[in-house]
Structure 1
Amino acid sequence: MKTSQILIPTQKEAPNDAQIISHQLMIRAGLISKLASGLYSYLPAGLRVLQKVEKIIREEMNNAGAQEILMPVAQPAELWQESGRWDQYGAELLRFSDRHQREFCLGPTHEEVVTHLAAQYLRSYKQLPINFYQIQTKFRDEIRPRFGVMRSREFIMKDAYSFHLDADSLQVEFDKMHATYCAIFERLGLDYRPVLADSGSIGGENSIEFHVLADSGEDAICFSDESEYAANIEKVAFSKQVRVCTPKAVEEKVLTKKKTSIEEVAEFLNIKPLNCIKTLIIKTTNGYKALALRGDHELNEIKVQNLWGEFEFATDDEIKRLDLKQGFIGVNALSLDLVVDYTAEVMCDFVCGANEWDYHLTGVNWGDIEFETADLRNAVAGDDAPDGKGKLVIKRGIEVGHIFQLGDKYSKAMNANVIGESGKAVTVTMGCYGIGVSRIVAAAIEQNYDDKGIVFPASIAPFQLVIVPINYNKSTRVRALADELYQQCLTAGIEVLLDDRKERAGIMFADSELLGIPHRLVLSDTHADNGNVEYKARSEPDKIEVQFDDALTFIQSKL
């Protein structure tokens, strides 16, 4: 491909709304173009990257025995009503009506459609296990689309769904998909981690997320420094602890006027936040609850949701109506159900609110206070790993894949049954396996860039090689050598880009580095004189002179 034959609209500056590096560089490198909020067109170079990701995914899924299908983006409401998710999914589900006033949605996922297919065509246990996958467009009406294709409304996803006679068969396929995903991300050249995760709105029990490690990642993921344990921070579970301290202090009420936050109170009393208890008020479907945590810990909202379902934090007006004092709420004499985090339960001589304006209590102990206990908090670096081996290290990750054991959540609701060996109908059990294809492109950039632009892993770069002939349009010798080398590369099957523009060398170098092309060959009149060509790897600082006659063999050895 010649640069004059392909649209690569590079830019020197990123748009103002591009907040993260992948968004900035994808726009600047001419990989994508914004159409509207959360909607992007893939331009030729960007599509080449996307298709390479798809190719690797497709090859590994086929190797694992999955069968590729393609399901509609538009889905009838009846299927979602049958599964029970039509009213549950929320505003991200874009609903619309056709000309006959029949309700549809744009599919954010395809559990309903594929389960409907299974109910139609899977009749006997002899057809199981079976795994269907597709690579297709999804739509989720995000309230705040941001970060380019990292969190867009329309995106490309590989989603797969397996059907089984029993849980043992599902576990075998789940393990196979785990291995398949590892193979995919290794071929993509990404630094990734599989971690235990919460299943969220998809449902099911066992689930594992795959994260690309990057400082810009939205998720915190936790690793043991001594074992293979890894989990999303929302999934790190802690057990009940044994108190090792002995209460010694006498409870005392202290004036802490206008000191309402844990940090303010700790500084005022010259103590650490971990010596304080903070009390949060939440509203559940069964009423209000008070949750007590150590002052330096954060509430894990997923754990709370798993315990009591959907909840909200009480507003200032609601707290006032409960006769509580915002900023001074304690654990004594509460009229609400009190639930104490396991770590807070083992504290002694702590500080908490006095349930009185402008006062806190010091030297507090649990004593006769009535409460329940639960695991309520997020992990912090240095916590003991839940498997008992080592301490937790926390890094940022970008979720690019997620595998679930769905069980019979959808198959039972939608009557996906087969005739078992006994001749009786058996409800099939399901697995679900997703990869964010377009998100992988952004995640790869977040992990691989420098001050000059993208440093794509070789497996997904838009081109393997760029030839930069200086004065191509003025020097007949340079043009002849460049064209000869270009044809040699094409014949050898190398994905090569010949920059034949009437641009200065600096601009051509800058654009090739911005695009992240792994290898570069430079030709000039000087090289025509000495019979050499200049080689530089995108990820290396040094340049090498190679004999022109050996250039093809040299490049082939690098690919």
Structure 2
Amino acid sequence: MRASRFFISTLKEAPADAEIISHQLMMRAGMIKRLGSGIYTYMPMGLRVIRKVENIVREEMNRAGAIELLMPLVQPAELWQETGRWDKMGPELMRVKDRHGRDFAIQPTSEEVITDVVRSEIKSYKKLPVNFYHIQTKFRDERRPRFGLMRGREFTMKDAYSFDRDVAGMQQSYQVMYDAYVRIFNRFGLQFRAVAADNGAIGGSGSHEFHVIADTGEDALVYCPQSDYAANMEAAEALAPTGVRAAASADLVKTATPGKSKCEDVAALLGLPLAATVKSIVLAVDSEEDDKTATQIWLLLLRGDHELNEVKATKVPGLANFRFASEAEIVDHFGTPPGYLGPVGPRKPVKIVADRTVVAMSDFVCGANEPGFHYTGANWERDIAEPLVADLRNVVAGDPSPDGKGDLAIQRGIEVGHVFQLGTRYSQDMQATYLDETGKPQLMQMGCYGIGVTRILGAAIEQNFDDKGIIWPASIAPFEVVLCPMGYDRSEAVKAETDRLYQELLDAGVDAILDDRGERPGAMFADWELIGVPHRIVIGERGLKDGKLEYQGRRDAEATSVPPADMAVFMKARLAA
């Protein structure tokens, strides 16, 4: 590719609405152009990156035995109604009507469509297992689209769906896809981590998220440096403290804490460590009884220095559909607004659930259910009945690893892939069955596997950039090599050597671009450093007289001199490395 025949449009400054570095750099490098909130045009430079990501994904999916098809962007509401997701998805699901008033969804994912395809096409165990995938536009009507391609409304995703005869087959298909994902992310050239995750709204029995490691990542990844344990924060188990709970050694005393509604402030006032306090979180669960709404109030207790894990809370029996209680409900049950709540003598009965850490505490501080007062010296059994116990909190660095092989550490990551064991979540609702060897119908066991193709771009940049711009891994860079001739339009020697080397690189299969725009060296170098092409070759008259060309990797502090005749071989070796 010659730059004069390509479209290059760089900016010195990022638009004001570009919030994070990947959004800023993609806009400045001319890779995307904003059309509307969370909707972008992929410009030629950015599209080249997307296509390279897609090609790697496609090659590895094919290698893993998945079969490509293409499902429609617009899907009939009837399929979504079969699984109940037409209502459950909420406003993120973009709903439209055709001219006849029929309801359709603009797909955010394709479980329903692929299950409909398979239930109509596959009737016998002899045709299983099978795995279909496609790379297709998705749309999710995010409430607050932000961060460019990281959280846009329209995006490209690869989603695959496996169908098996039994659980063992599903688990085998899952492992094949997991291994394929590892190869994909290795080929991207990105530092990543696969972590155990919660299935969430998609349903099923088990899953792993694939995260690109980046300090700017939204997600906290929990791992054990001494073992293979890894999970996202939602799924990471906080083990119960070991040993026997200490016996009560202090009296229960109502202590004045005027204006101190936070555990941090109460601990400071009393001269106690924050870990000696207990925080109260009030939840509510609504249910329909005799055409009336009944509400059950729950009190969740965590140590003052810990944070509630809402996903874990939904696992407590009875709390699957919880909401946070209103202030009026809190006052009605505890006699005080939030800030002074506690488990000792609430005004009305509530269900109490204590985190594993809290139930191991003694002589702790908690709210006294009276404005301006807390209890000190609170203890289980003596002052409060033993509660229901559950893992309710986020883990913290230094907690023991659930596998018993060390302590936990935490790093930031950007989720770019997710693999799920769905089981019969969709085949049950849509009656996707096959006939087994005895002629009896059996539900198919499903798995699904997604990669955010366009999100990879943002994640890769968040991991690879400097003050000059993007630093693409060679495998997904818009171009692998850029040739920067000094005076291409003025020097016959420079032009001849540049054209010769350019053709030699193309013949060797190197994805090179020749910058023949006639730009000044400073402007030319700044463009390519911003765009992030990982390898640069400079051809100049002075170097040619000395029998040298200049090579510089995007991360290199200094250039390397290479004889012109050796440059193509040198470049191929660098790309192979």
Shorter-chain-normalised TM-score: which range? Answer: over 0.9
Indicate the residue corresponding to 2:330 in structure 1.
319
Indicate the residue corresponding to 1:310 in structure 2.
321
Which residue identity does 1:10 align to in structure 2? T
2: CA distance, partners of 1:135 / 1:477: 46
From 521, 545, 553, the equivalent of 2:537 is 521
Alignment of 1:7 onto 2:7? yes
1:525 Cα deviation after fit: 2.1
From 343, 349, 354, the equivalent of 1:340 is 354
Indicate the residue corresponding to 1:25 in structure 2.
25
1:493 Cα deviation after fit: 2.1
Indicate the residue corresponding to 1:330 in structure 2.
342
Q: Detail structure 1 runs of 4+ shifted over 3 Å in the superposition.
A: 238-244
Instruction: Give deviations 1:29-83, integer Å, cap 9, x for gaps.
Output: 1111111111111111111111111111111111111100100010000000011
2: CA distance, partners of 1:77 / 1:144: 25
Q: 5 Å matches for 1:272-283?
A: 272-283=273-284
| Bigger mean CA deviation after superposition, 524-533 or 285-294 | 524-533
2: CA distance, partners of 1:186 / 1:486: 29
Indicate the residue corresponding to 2:526 in structure 1.
510
Asked whether the 8 Å contact 1:29–1:515 carries over to 2, the reply is yes
Alignment of 1:259 onto 2:273? no
Indicate the residue corresponding to 1:293 in structure 2.
302
Asked whether the 8 Å contact 2:239–2:400 carries over to 1, the reply is no
1: CA distance, partners of 2:182 / 2:496: 45
From 421, 425, 433, the equivalent of 2:437 is 421
SS in 2 for 1:282: strand
2: CA distance, partners of 1:224 / 1:557: 36
Asked whether the 8 Å contact 2:238–2:399 carries over to 1, the reply is no
Instruction: Give deviations 1:415-461, integer Å, cap 9, x for gaps.
Output: 11111101111111111111111111111111111111111111111
Instruction: Give deviations 1:66-114, integer Å, cap 9, x for gaps.
Output: 1001000100000000111111111100001000100001000000000
Q: 5 Å matches for 1:168-317?
A: 168-241=168-241, 242-285=243-286, 286-307=295-316, 308-317=319-328
Which residue identity does 1:296 align to in structure 2? D
Asked whether the 8 Å contact 1:19–1:147 carries over to 2, the reply is yes
Asked whether the 8 Å contact 1:111–1:161 carries over to 2, the reply is yes
2: CA distance, partners of 1:9 / 1:272: 57
Which residue identity does 1:540 align to in structure 2? D
Q: 5 Å matches for 1:361-440?
A: 361-368=375-382, 369-370=384-385, 371-440=387-456
Q: TM-score, normalised by structure 2?
A: 0.95
SS in 1 for 2:449: strand
Alignment of 1:558 onto 2:577? no
Which residue identity does 1:347 align to in structure 2? M
Indicate the residue corresponding to 1:460 in structure 2.
476
Q: Which runs of 5+ in 1 are unaligned?
A: none
| Bigger mean CA deviation after superposition, 249-258 or 309-318 | 309-318
Asked whether the 8 Å contact 1:8–1:43 carries over to 2, the reply is no
Asked whether the 8 Å contact 1:190–1:212 carries over to 2, the reply is yes
2: CA distance, partners of 1:57 / 1:125: 28
Which residue identity does 2:229 align to in structure 1? Y
Indicate the residue corresponding to 1:499 in structure 2.
515
1:239 Cα deviation after fit: 4.5
Instruction: Give deviations 1:202-250, integer Å, cap 9, x for gaps.
Output: 1001111111111111111100122111001110123544434332112
Q: TM-score, normalised by structure 1?
A: 0.98
Which residue identity does 1:424 align to in structure 2? K
2: CA distance, partners of 1:155 / 1:359: 52
SS in 2 for 1:268: helix
Indicate the residue corresponding to 2:44 in structure 1.
44
Asked whether the 8 Å contact 2:137–2:156 carries over to 1, the reply is yes
Asked whether the 8 Å contact 1:133–1:159 carries over to 2, the reply is yes
SS in 2 for 1:169: helix
1:479 Cα deviation after fit: 2.2
Asked whether the 8 Å contact 1:236–1:378 carries over to 2, the reply is yes
Give the total of aligned pairs. Answer: 559
1: CA distance, partners of 2:464 / 2:236: 28
SS in 1 for 2:568: helix
Asked whether the 8 Å contact 2:137–2:154 carries over to 1, the reply is yes
RMSD: 1.3
| Bigger mean CA deviation after superposition, 24-33 or 64-73 | 24-33
Indicate the residue corresponding to 2:290 in structure 1.
none
1:483 Cα deviation after fit: 2.1
1:490 Cα deviation after fit: 2.1
1:154 Cα deviation after fit: 0.6
| Bigger mean CA deviation after superposition, 498-507 or 71-80 | 498-507
Q: 5 Å matches for 1:125-144?
A: 125-144=125-144
Asked whether the 8 Å contact 1:407–1:430 carries over to 2, the reply is yes
Asked whether the 8 Å contact 2:223–2:410 carries over to 1, the reply is yes
1:253 Cα deviation after fit: 1.7
1: CA distance, partners of 2:342 / 2:192: 43
SS in 1 for 2:92: coil
Asked whether the 8 Å contact 2:342–2:367 carries over to 1, the reply is yes
Instruction: Give deviations 1:267-295, integer Å, cap 9, x for gaps.
Output: 11122211100001111225211111000
1:491 Cα deviation after fit: 2.4
2: CA distance, partners of 1:254 / 1:244: 24
2: CA distance, partners of 1:556 / 1:391: 43
2: CA distance, partners of 1:505 / 1:272: 61
1:201 Cα deviation after fit: 0.8
1: CA distance, partners of 2:238 / 2:574: 49
2: CA distance, partners of 1:100 / 1:230: 50
Instruction: Give deviations 1:317-368, integer Å, cap 9, x for gaps.
Output: 3322332332111110123111111111001111111111111111111124
SS in 1 for 2:476: coil
Indicate the residue corresponding to 2:364 in structure 1.
350
Instruction: Give deviations 1:375-415, integer Å, cap 9, x for gaps.
Output: 11111111111111110101111111111111111111111
Asked whether the 8 Å contact 1:134–1:160 carries over to 2, the reply is yes
Q: 5 Å matches for 1:71-90?
A: 71-90=71-90
SS in 2 for 1:87: helix
Asked whether the 8 Å contact 2:421–2:447 carries over to 1, the reply is yes
1: CA distance, partners of 2:463 / 2:547: 38
Instruction: Give deviations 1:157-216, integer Å, cap 9, x for gaps.
Output: 110001111001111111111111111111111111111100011100111111111111
Which residue identity does 1:222 align to in structure 2? V
Indicate the residue corresponding to 2:291 in structure 1.
none
2: CA distance, partners of 1:224 / 1:126: 43
2: CA distance, partners of 1:239 / 1:10: 51
1:474 Cα deviation after fit: 2.7
Asked whether the 8 Å contact 2:366–2:376 carries over to 1, the reply is yes
Which residue identity does 1:542 align to in structure 2? E
Asked whether the 8 Å contact 1:243–1:347 carries over to 2, the reply is no
Indicate the residue corresponding to 1:62 in structure 2.
62
Q: 5 Å matches for 1:88-167?
A: 88-167=88-167
SS in 2 for 1:357: coil
2: CA distance, partners of 1:528 / 1:168: 64
Q: 5 Å matches for 1:544-555?
A: 544-555=560-571
Instruction: Give deviations 1:124-152, integer Å, cap 9, x for gaps.
Output: 00000000011111110000111110111
